[in-house]
């Protein structure tokens, strides 16, 4: 299947395009050839899409928690839209994971009927929100890293993953710019806003050690031209972040040791709490349709 065909199917215009990936409950990959290209390990591809999809799903839920709590109505709308963008990305990636593994699990089964140890998101996504400065800095770190990954994934040998990445790049570029603007505004603002933003950066910085540490699946698929080795995006991440921090008059924390946790299913207690809320209705009424 040609890349353009996959992208066209995913980005097809309809009456619901004003919403993130529409408002319907149909399979987001319906009508798309989801067969795994020759030479690509289908289970490795499924695991990789699960990693990226879980990152988006959990980060989306954290941002949704700001609804009715943001400092201004405009930020209510902005954060809700960013959360919807990420939820749309999660739907596509989890659907791709389910299709690739070919074991009968769709996006809903993967989102609602896995326990915390079966999730593969990075720890940065599951960290609790804190104040507005904390969430802003977390979004800056997450979006800067994710944009660098997605930009490279547009050349993936899997045409479906490449098309999902191409659609997502434009969204995550906005997420990064939004977070950068607010980081600069808060960092170079009052003494109080500066202090809170620096505290947020210091508190969140240890999570960056995980962002650039490759899982064996990421490394193998990167060699095969399917995935991206996260260590390859470190330089771009540092360049963008240093520019933002300089304008925000914030000090970059000391380097942290690389480590792996979320990609191996090792998570903090807050993820279990998040999933209890996220999955409550689906688990209370398994198999229900709406």
pLDDT of amino acid 66: 86
The mean pLDDT value for 243-267 works out to: 95
Condensed to tens digits (0 to 9), the pLDDT of residues 97-122 reads: 999 999 999 999 999 999 999 999 99
Scanning the structure block, which residue is given the tokens 């191996």?
A: 264
- 113, HSE (Cβ side, Cα atoms, 13 Å): 14
Per CATH, the number for 41-253+261-284 is 1.20.1260.10
Q: Are 193 and 133 in contact (CB under 8 A)?
A: yes
pLDDT of amino acid 21: 41
Mean pLDDT score of the chain, rounded to an integer? 91
The model's confidence at residue 15, banded by pLDDT at 50, 70 and 90, is: very low
pLDDT of amino acid 73: 78
C-alpha dihedral (54, 32, 37, 60), degrees to nearest 10: -10
CA 272 vs. chain centroid, Å, equals 18
Residue 204: phi and psi, rounded to 5, are -85, -20
Whole-model pTM: value is 0.90
Contacts of 51 (CB under 8 A, 6+ apart): 120, 121, 215, 217, 218, 263
Q: Is the pLDDT of residue 28 over 80?
A: no
Condensed to tens digits (0 to 9), the pLDDT of residues 203-253 reads: 999 999 999 999 999 999 999 999 999 999 999 999 999 999 999 999 999
Count the helix, strand and coil residues of the chain and give each as a percent rounded to the nearest 5: 65, 0, 35
Q: Which long-range contacts (CB under 8 A, 24 or more apart) does 225-232 make?
A: 225/155, 225/156, 225/157, 226/40, 226/44, 226/45, 226/48, 226/156, 226/157, 226/158, 226/161, 227/48, 227/153, 227/156, 228/149, 228/152, 228/153, 230/145, 230/149, 232/152
Please report, for the chain, the start and end positions of each structural domain, with discontinuous segments joined by +. Answer: 41-253+261-284
Q: Is the pLDDT of residue 176 over 60?
A: yes
């Amino acid at each position: 299947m040609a890349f353009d065909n996959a992208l066209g199917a995913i980005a097809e215009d309809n009456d619901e395009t004003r919403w993130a990936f529409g408002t319907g409950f149909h399979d987001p990959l319906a009508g798309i050839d989801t067969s795994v290209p020759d030479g690509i390990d289908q289970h490795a591809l499924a695991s990789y899409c699960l990693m990226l999809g879980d990152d988006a799903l959990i980060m989306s839920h954290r941002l949704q928690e700001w609804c009715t709590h943001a400092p201004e109505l405009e930020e209510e709308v902005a954060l809700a839209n960013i959360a919807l963008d990420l939820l749309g990305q999660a739907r596509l990636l989890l659907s791709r994971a389910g299709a690739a593994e070919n074991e009968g699990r769709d996006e809903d089964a993967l989102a609602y009927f896995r326990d915390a140890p079966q999730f593969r998101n990075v720890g940065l996504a599951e960290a609790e929100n804190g104040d507005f400065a904390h969430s802003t800095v977390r979004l800056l770190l997450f979006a800067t890293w994710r944009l660098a990954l997605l930009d490279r994934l547009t050349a993936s040998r899997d045409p479906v993953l490449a098309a999902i990445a191409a659609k997502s790049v434009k969204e995550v570029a906005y997420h990064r710019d939004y977070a950068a603007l607010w980081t600069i505004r808060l960092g170079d603002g009052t003494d109080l806003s500066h202090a809170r933003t620096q505290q947020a950066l210091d508190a969140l910085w240890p999570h960056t050690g995980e962002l650039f540490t490759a899982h064996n699946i990421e490394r193998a698929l990167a060699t095969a031209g399917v995935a991206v080795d996260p260590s390859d995006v470190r330089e771009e991440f540092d360049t963008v972040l240093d520019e933002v921090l300089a304008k925000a008059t914030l000090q970059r924390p000391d380097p942290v040791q690389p480590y792996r946790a979320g990609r191996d299913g090792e998570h903090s207690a807050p993820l279990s709490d998040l999933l209890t809320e996220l999955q409550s209705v689906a688990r209370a009424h398994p198999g229900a349709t709406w």
